[in-house]
Amino acid sequence: MKLHVIPASPNSQGPIAVAKHLKLDANNTVEIVNSYGKTRTPEFLAINPCHTCPTLELDGSDGAIWESCAIMRFLCVNNEGGDSIYPTDPILRGKIDMVMDWRQTGLYPAFPNIAYGVFGYPTDEDEAKKAFGKIMNELFPTLMDVYLKDTQFVYSDKPTIADLSIAPVLTFLKCRKNFWAVVPDKVKEYHARVLEAFPDAKEYFDMTDGMCTGFEGPGADIEP
């Protein structure tokens, strides 16, 4: 199988970390392919008409799976060791799935206006401030006081794919240094704890960190 990725994109980094954690690239089950700049080519659109990375291109005529959370689940369910980061306990698995849906529908939509400047896209500064307000007042309290209320990771003392769906995205906040400065320590510590739990993906996490920390484009210095 081929895992098409945009290496510096947090959406790609969860699936990359899963593939590396389960040694799927080392044992040639999954080849990680850098498809940056190629997602609108006829060849890529034939694999995934939604033109997004990550995309897992299956072997033979089996087609492809896209959407980062679906890919992480697929890799875990179908490969040895996947249970360690996608536990089979039905209640815990249900909560992990719930948090991954929250990541896609609640958390991630708050980030494009804050962070897509690092990829050269225009961003709206008023919308970025509004989105950060929602992150601070609504999304972080849910993360800290509900999902991380009693545990080091989301509903668990061990890291799971729910954490891999969330933590790489939080790095984006570093491109607005005055936003990152007021992020609660509990969130910063969680962010570091998750990324450290997947050292094989460090080079990818570091790419995003470097791009965001070094960002000096429009709005880099705005106040929250």
Sites of contact with ligand GSH (CB under 6 A): 6, 9, 11, 39-40, 51-54, 67-68, 104
Closest distance to ligand GSH from the beta carbon of 159 (Å):
19
Q: CA–CA separation, 151 vs 144, rounded Å?
A: 10
Closer to ligand GSH at the Cβ: 40 or 149?
Answer: 40
**Cβ nearer to ligand GSH, comparing 5 with 183:** 5
Give me the least distance between CB of 204 and ligand GSH, in Å please: 13
**Residue at 197: amino acid letter:** A
Q: Cβ distance 116 to 173 under 8 Å?
A: no
For ligand GSH, the closer of residues 54 and 159 by Cβ is 54
Q: What is the Cα 5 distance to its own chain's centre?
A: 12
Least distance to ligand GSH from the beta carbon of 112, Å?
A: 9
Burial annotation 107-137 (CB, 10 A radius, 16+ → b, else e): bbebbbbbbebbeeeebeeeebbebbeebbe
195 is written with which tokens? 């990324």
The smaller minimum CB distance to ligand GSH, of residues 6 and 148, is found at 6
Least distance CB 57 / ligand GSH (angstroms): 14
